[in-house]
């Protein structure tokens, strides 16, 4: 049931960095960027975040919006009418493959699935819903991609595709920013100001992503960030690392 609140508390829970969904162990590619010397201060962090938001951020937000739309429209048939096809290639499996196709780096795929598994665990505990069950069944073994779970969880609490996109776009920069505070000892106030400066861009990316929620999945944004992909691969082989990705 849609919430009458402009800022529903369920949604705040989903966007909260304290949500126990494993995000604290991932840096969104920031740790290898620091190791490579590409991010050294607040200015270079801000540039990194802008790039990440415009590429990986838009792709993830669009996938989340599409997932939320899919979960909402599937759920319209009503409980007990979930077909086995939901788990197969015409349902969640296909959207999951679209996410795979937009994630060329195996390390990033595995990081996305690890976070998807963790989020699915807490989402099913907090907002039980047939779509989350179908998503779990469709990705047995390796876990669904992270943005798909954000979308389905948003649908499970009665949220909209636009809200799923907003939570996702926001998360693609806040996780990396918090990792920068830990890795570089940056002033947290300056880092938060940098995030505040990005707020309008985050909203714009979310709106762009949400506008495509009900379109064909093949047409979802497929922007790449080759340097982030390469960082993800070198990071996985690095001997010293604090973050999983």
Residues in touch with other proteins (CB under 8 A): 18, 20-27, 114, 117-118, 121-122, 179, 182-183, 239-244
Q: b/e per residue, 154-182, with b = 16+ CB within 10 A?
A: bbbbbbbbbbbbbbbbbbbbbbbbbbbee
Cβ closest to other proteins, residue 33 vs residue 65: 33
Least Å distance between CB 45 and other proteins? Answer: 16
Cβ 120 to other proteins shortest distance, Å: 10
Q: Supply the minimum distance, in Å, between the C-beta of residue 22 and other proteins.
A: 4
Residues 105 and 229 sit within 8 Å (Cβ to Cβ) = yes
- Residue with smaller CB distance to other proteins, 102 or 117: 117
**Shortest spacing between CB 197 and other proteins, in angstroms:** 25
**Residues of the chain by 3-state class (helix, strand, coil), percent to 5:** 70, 0, 30
When the beta carbons of 43 and 238 are compared against other proteins, the nearer one is: 238
Q: Measured from the CB atom, is 57 or 116 closer to other proteins?
A: 116
Question: What span, in angstroms and rounded, lies between the C-alpha atoms of 111 and 145?
Answer: 9
Question: Residue 165 in contact with residue 65, Cβ under 8 Å?
Answer: yes
The Cα 167–Cα 61 span in angstroms is 8
């Amino acid at each position: 049931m849609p919430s009458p609140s402009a800022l529903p508390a369920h949604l705040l829970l989903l966007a909260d960095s304290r949500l126990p969904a494993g995000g604290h162990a991932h840096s969104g590619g920031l740790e290898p960027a620091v190791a490579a010397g590409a991010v050294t201060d607040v200015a270079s962090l801000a540039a990194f975040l802008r790039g990440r938001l415009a590429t990986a951020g838009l792709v993830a937000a669009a996938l989340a919006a599409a997932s939320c739309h899919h979960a909402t429209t599937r759920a319209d048939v009503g409980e007990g009418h979930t077909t086995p096809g939901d788990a197969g290639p015409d349902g969640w499996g296909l959207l999951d493959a679209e996410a795979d196709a937009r994630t060329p780096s195996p390390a990033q795929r595995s990081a996305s699935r690890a976070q998807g598994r963790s989020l699915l665990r807490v989402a099913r505990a907090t907002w039980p819903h047939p779509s989350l069950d179908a998503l779990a069944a469709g990705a047995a073994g390796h876990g669904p991609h992270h943005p798909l779970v954000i979308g389905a969880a948003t649908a499970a609490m009665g949220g909209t595709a636009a809200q799923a996109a907003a939570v996702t776009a926001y998360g693609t920069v806040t996780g990396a920013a918090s990792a920068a505070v830990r890795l570089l000892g940056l002033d947290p106030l300056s880092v938060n100001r940098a995030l505040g400066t990005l707020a309008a861009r985050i909203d714009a990316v979310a709106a762009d992503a949400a506008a495509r929620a009900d379109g064909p999945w093949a047409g979802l944004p497929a922007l790449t960030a080759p340097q982030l992909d390469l960082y993800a691969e070198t990071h996985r082989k690095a001997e010293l690392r604090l973050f999983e990705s």
